Amino acid sequence: MRRRTPEKSDADLEHIGENVGGNPQQDGTVVSDVESEEGLSQRLIYVNQRLPVELLDEDGSPIQQFSRNKIRTAKYTPLIFIPKNLWLQFHNIANIYFLFVTILAIFPIFGASNPALGSVPLIVILLITAIKDAIEDYRRTVLDNELNNTPVHLLVDWHNPNVTDENVSYWRQCKKATSRGLLWLVQQYKHQKQRKRAKNNPEMMTLERSETRASVYTVAKDHAESIQMTPVSSPAPDKQRFSFSPSDNGVPQSSPRSTYLRVPSSHNHEPKPDSRNYGNLVDPHRHGPEKARFKRGYWKDVRVGDFVRIYNDEEIPADIIILSTSDSDGACYVETKNLDGETNLKVRHALRSGRKIRHARDCEAANFMLESENPHANLYSYSGVIKWNQKDPMAPDKPGVDMAEAVSINNLLLRGCTLRNTDWTIGVVAFTGDETKIMMNAGITPSKRSRISRELNWNVIFNFLILLIMCLLSGIIQGVTWAKGNESLNYFEFGSIGGTPAVDGIVTFWTAVILFQNLVPISLYISIEIIKLAQAFFIYSDVYMYYDKLDYPCTPKSWNISDDLGQIEYIFSDKTGTLTQNVMEFKKCTVNGVPYGEAYTEAQAGMQKRQGINVEEAGAKMHAQIDADRMEMLKNLRQISNNPYLDEEKMTFVSSEYVGDLRGNSGEEQATANAHFMLVLALCHTVLPDRLSEDPPRIDFKAQSPDEAALVATARDCGYSLVDRTTHGVTINVQGVDKEFEVLSTLEFNSARKRMSAIVRMPDSGKIFLFCKGADSIIYSRLRKGKQPELRRQTAEHLELFAREGLRTLCIAEKELSEEEYLFWSKEHDIAAAAVHNREEKLEEISDAIERDLTLLGGTAIEDRLQDGVPDTIAVLAEAGIKLWVLTGDKVETAINIGFSCNLLDNGMDLIVFKVDEDKPEAAATLLDKYLHEHFNMTGSMEELELAKEDHNPPAATHALVIDGDALKLVLEEELRTKFLLLCKQCKAVLCCRVSPSQKAAVCQMVKKGLDVMTLSIGDGANDVAMIQEADVGVGIAGEEGRQAVMCSDYAIGQFRFLSRLVLVHGRWSYRRLAEMTANFFYKNIVWTFALFWYQLFNSFDGSYLFEYTYILLYNLAFTSLPVILMGILDQDVDDKVSLAVPQLYRRGILRLEWTQLKFWIYMIDGIYQSVMCFFMTYLVFSLGGFASPTGRDLNGREQMGVYVACAAIVVVNTYVLINQYRWDWLFALIIAISTLLVFFWTGVYSQFKSVGTFYSAAGQVFGALSFWSTIFLTVIVCLLPRMAAKVVQKLFFPRDIDIIREQVRQGKFAHLYTKTLMPTMAASSTSSAIVKPPSHRFEQDDELRPIYPPSVAPTATTRGKRGSGNGSDGTDGSGNHGTGGTFTPRRFSLERHRPSMDRARASFDRLRSSTERTRASFEATSDFTSAAMLSRMESCHSTPQRASVAFEKR
């Protein structure tokens, strides 16, 4: 990629003038600002221009190659499915092994009697896997075809010079023909089915046609395809699709009442002439054939350089540069839910030079070149430049002016987004297919394998080693035996197969590989897949983890790690939207130094609870007071004005004192201050009003963050209602009177600024004000130096108390601008916005210059309530021995609040606030040593870390650690990580605040690898993705911040409270089931294989078969497979209610006691013992002579003896599995009986065919002998007696927790779990399976009547993304767009004058102050806590101008 030279880094501000991209020079020539630069990237796109010679090859074709827009996520095509699927399946070493064994069996020299039958197990496994893969890939193929064939309107009958017609190879033609043929067959089959259904139900076809959605695609084919692009709504007959109707002159007119949220219209304003010439991409003198038209095509046909027309509610087919939209100012709105998971609408803008492109003929006449950066995965960054030669419309022969316009992410529509509330937009395609940002971000989620699966490889290797030893022993003994001579075999055998002892040994070795093949459990892998698939289905089907508000069940996305859920020791949780609802409610505010608001927050309830106060009584009392105050407030509001937009049911701000002061009870000054404060809240935002109904008038607010919606909604309830947003401003209903406020500029929010501002011209006075809202520390640092000392102190105190209540706090400030100041600043702002390079840095610099010397107005406090059942869920997880860490982007006091709110912290804990004053690792190391020595008497050595790895007990509830992101960056360094990990290990709770997404992942990795434990991460936002992917198990919450976390997670749930059931019930079940099933699987293979091996002792290890060959093949396939699989699917020691009531049962999973190498070898040894009994019990019966059948035939043949041993072994194995099963029911008993009887059935049927040779009639001979049944009976007793005795001793003298609990269940001590009727408010109780089923009316309750859980949290969620991307909000409530009105003079806030309002007691505020002072000391000594003392000491560090060139700084 070509880079810009450093000496030209400041060129933009100097050279960009009135023509944006180029300035006429004195000598008459025109120099483009980017003409002399080396370029931005290597991608050049030419529109209606010939490609330069250097971009053409020798054949005249373009050198640049662009990705096709056709996407294929499927692995296979119909033509290559079989070979490719087999190729992938044989990457499994076990499949290769059994293929090798099957090939060996083909050769008669190795003694396999039925090679064809021997291939059945491998074929069955390959077939099942292939069917599963085919179904999965078919679904992907269907989705691919639907996506690739999605309709879109493309410009046709014009030449795109950037691409050439595709040269489809013969191979692709063959694949396409095959796919089309199969697709035609499927369509014909479906068509026939529909015709049959239509015959039986004639009304069906009529109904289907009536339900078809009218759209722009249902256009008459005769004329619609050739309609040119016009500014009207659509070429389709369906005009209701859009919010405007075409007028005679083609200008969109607003409809009487929009039925959905509209793009800001300009019907109240005449379009203002541009003060600068931005140019026009349309060449007025270009004459073309004028044949171009927009025609319906498909996504797969879109190519780089094509013109595309997108309609409202359509998805974007590729990454497209916006040229024009239906809005006169070029704005459009997109929903990026498919891209980043966020549901908030984002604003995008058309290029200023392209807004005249409105018809197909305009596209044909456009003439420009796009210089673009190469494709990359950053969703929030794009840099490019449009270059063109501007012709004079009145002078065709006059040379044009070279111009350029910068292209940013705000001018780019990304593939996968959806156009909303915008009638149409036209753009040119920049990236297609795999080069689009959504596809480059569609990276494969890290492949996760469960711990048992990883450890299983070693056990399979052990079995391979045992098999190798057995085969070597067989080959060596057989070769040595033949080499001896003078043995009995010399008289009974007609020579050896190999001819020499060495060859005999080699042949016997491979014969033994076939004979003992069952020792390597190929069917184990397919059995585990079946079990995990069933476990995933059970998790998905659990109605107690179904979230009815979103209609969302618990959804397993990685169904192969369900057993890891049963071994989790550490949980890392996000806060906002994960522990809290992320539904913001305005509760309190402080205006002109006076606090307002009555609320009983969860944090306040938590503080009272820690003081020993009965929170139920206190809560009821407070709710009664709040209800009375609400009625008084509504009464006073109605007396001020009959506000038709007031929504009494949704009103969250309750303060009759505020309304009283608004009416003048505390004087004119306070009344003016209160009115102006609410007006600012109604102006400083980017909210879009959505009118839901006219009578009564109801408006919903569409905001980029829930904070903004809460602020605007409160202003509405107080009489300052946002009614409409136009392209030039907003309309506010001020106490019944509509006023229009002109928004001159908006300085948007990003995570670095932590603030947003709106510059507004007042309608009455014409004055210009800048209104700014943001984090308290940010606003205080920008206040006018030396002014408002008393107001600053009072406001800081109020904000601190609000934060201790668990509320999110913001500061509101303003600044009056003169006309000259604004015009000068606006010019420099436009220059910075047009910069090609370092645009964001320059915009930040120019925004920073004007956001200084502010006047403080007050502050707001918003509550983000805890989700239902969060404290109970955390408590029950802690009882299970699971440690939960909170990783949040909020500040320290908020982290402490959530700790108390969620039962992580209590007053008895010693709170360690890890704060490093100097940004040096040495300071962090000193602090680590200090805390380790003082609190835990540790040094942080590696020996102590090794001991910590072995200790899985929960730490004592004596210490808790709180650390911020700056300190975390230091302690995560390699040399300090061990000490920090040890410090965290000793603390009951760890809360990390102000952490970035990468730091979240780093903390998770540190614990996972440093302590060798199983970790789980849970979050709901895009900033949690790294943490979710790093943990062993990632859980995403389908919440308010979008679905990015859900898309990247292993499990998706609707609420945090479902986590307890997912982990403690399904996780524990899955882990125990799989561990027991795996051990039993190895055991049963050992019994069978070693029974064959003992027979080799008596035939010189010649590899002869004791069993009939079909027994060997069907043993794992039919005779013993179902019982162990059913054990892995349905076994249950205790049910879900008891699992939640006794969470301590989960600790065996944390200690990994269900699956250990010791358990593996115990089962292996037990299997060897039982194989000895199975073989030698039968051997002893036959050793003294055979028996005779009822027909008189001797039962001393090898085949008959094999039936004795095989049937006994199968009965023993299935009975053994039954003994190890905890839950006995009719289904499991039936499966055990069927599997056991199947061997007798098979023997009876298969032995009736004469083709089986000496096995013919074996069933009749053996089953009729009493010795057979007696031997089986005795063998079963002898085999299982040690296991039964061991179980009796263990349960009587060394009982485990589960044994005691199961006994108590039998005694009825848990009967209350099945008879107790749960109240709706107890839906999250940890003692019942009803834990996760919220009542349907829960969300309709009045907020103040909700049940109070322990305290809530005051987050200031960190927003991700860069300026203008609209990716959420920080404590500053997101990006802003529109301003304020009225004629309010800031000097009225001077606290040097007497304010009567301060003399009146505020009961609720005084109660809060006294309660917080009793709870815990202020953290004002540390700068990480934004205390009142710290804010009052803070001077305006940003009040000194940085750039002397700004006019208003000279004032």
Helix (H, G, I), strand (E, B) or coil at 977: helix
d(CA 922, CA 973): 11
Residue with tokens 């044009």: 400
Alpha helices in 1156-1224 (DSSP H): 1157-1183, 1198-1220
Please give the C-alpha separations between residue 88 and each of 81, 558, 741, in angstroms, as whole numbers. Answer: 10, 20, 65
Reported as type and span, the H/E element at residue 419 is strand 418-420
The active-site residue, picked from 574, 707, 776, 872, is 574
Please give the Cα distance from 914 to 917 (Å, whole number). Answer: 10
Token pair for 1041: 């911040």
Q: Are 281 and 49 in contact (CB under 8 A)?
A: no
Residue in the structure block whose two tokens are 């609209």 = 1366
| Gyration radius of the chain's alpha carbons | 38
Alpha-carbon gap, residue 1209 to 1119, rounded angstroms: 10
> Phi/psi of residue 390, each to 5°?
-80, 120
Nearest to 1301 by CA among 1069, 1072, 1144: 1144
Please classify residue 899 by burial: count the beta carbons closer than 10 Å to its beta carbon, then call 0-12 exposed, 13-18 middle and 19+ buried. buried
* Long-range contacts of 174-182, Cβ-Cβ distance < 8 Å, separation of 24 or more: 174/79, 175/77, 175/79, 175/80, 178/77, 178/78, 178/79, 179/77, 179/78, 179/79, 182/78
Please report how many Cα atoms fall inside a 13 Å half-sphere around the Cα of residue 1316, on the Cβ side. Answer: 16
**DSSP states of 1-38:** -----GGGTTHHHHH--TTSSEEE-TTS-EEETTTTS-
Q: Which two tokens stand for residue 255?
A: 């409809």
Count of all residues that appear for the chain in the document:
1451
d(CA 1016, CA 1030): 9
Please, where are the H alpha helices in 542-648? 602-610, 615-640
Burial 934-953 (b: 16+ CB within 10 A, else e): ebbebebeeebbeebeeeee
**Tokens 């998805």 label which residue?**
315
CA distance 940 to 983: 8
Is the separation of the CB atoms in 906 and 936 below 8 Å? no
The two three-digit tokens of residue 822, written as one number? 């604004």
* Cα(852)–Cα(1437) distance, integer angstroms: 10
Read off the tokens for 816. Answer: 């009056």
CA–CA gap between residue 1378 and residue 784 (Å, rounded) = 23
The candidate with the shortest Cα–Cα distance to 734, out of 684, 680, 773, is 680
- The Cα–Cα gap between 676 and 670 comes to 10
Q: Contact at 8 Å (CB) between 776 and 1426?
A: yes
Phi/psi at 1114 (nearest 5 deg)? -95, -5
Please report how many Cα atoms fall inside a 13 Å half-sphere around the Cα of residue 624, on the Cβ side: 6
574 given a catalytic annotation: yes
Q: Provide the Cα torsion 1253, 1257, 1259, 1262; round to 10°.
A: -100
Hey, is 1122 helix, strand or coil? helix
Q: How far is residue 608's CA from residue 1351's CA, in Å, rounded to a whole number?
A: 9
Residue among 1209, 1185, 1204, 1210 at smallest CA distance from 1196: 1185
Which residues belong to the active site? 574
